Amino acid sequence: MVDITDWAYIAGCIDGEGCLSFNISSKVTVQITIVNTDKKMIDFINRVCNKAEIKMGIHYRDPRKAMFKGRIITGVKKCWGIYPTSFRDKLSFLELVFPYLIIKQEKANLLIEELKHRLEKRNLSSTWNPWKLRIDKTDRSLYERWKQIG
């Protein structure tokens, strides 16, 4: 069992180092990422999520390959990022950290609504992939609220 202080710590990581994003173009995209230069933090988050059976992906940014507009950027530190891999993992992750978020709680609430909406639509549809479902009024309404938050 995971201690609630672990989830509170992860919520602080999201508030300080995390990125919550939501976009609609030809499909709905929801992303949750925490990036840090200290791998110990990423490993801790991964251990806590594994205990809660939330599958996480980890990526590494090599400073020797940091590029912007086709040019190598100097002075970039190595860093790691961690993110929930599936829509179910994203929903579980957000529901566990939500009570402890301060700065990004409103955004997390909208993402939880969108993820639940996608899951519900998937259960009513024959498609296995909730991201390939058609964009509807609920998606657009949530996205408009998202843009208002900033």
Of 93, 87, 18, whose CA–CA distance to 53 is shortest?
93
Quote the CA–CA distance of 59 and 51 in Å, as a whole number: 20
pLDDT value of position 67: 63
Looking at residue 124, the DSSP 8-state letter turns out to be T
How far, rounded to the nearest angstrom, does the alpha carbon of residue 135 sit from its chain's CA centroid?
Answer: 20
For the stretch 16-42, pLDDT in tens is 999 999 988 878 889 999 999 999 999
Whether the CB-CB separation of 56 and 90 falls below 8 Å is answered with: no
Give me the chain's average pLDDT, please.
87
What is the value of pTM for the model shown? Answer: 0.86
Residue range 4-149, CATH number: 3.10.28.10
Q: Which residue has the higher pLDDT, 42 or 128?
A: 42
pLDDT value of position 24: 87
Burial of 111 (0-12, 13-18, 19+ CB in 10 A): buried
Whether the CB-CB separation of 42 and 58 falls below 8 Å is answered with: yes
Please report which confidence band the pLDDT of residue 45 belongs to, taking 50, 70 and 90 as the band edges: very high
Indicate the domain borders of the chain: 4-149
Quote the CA–CA distance of 136 and 138 in Å, as a whole number: 6
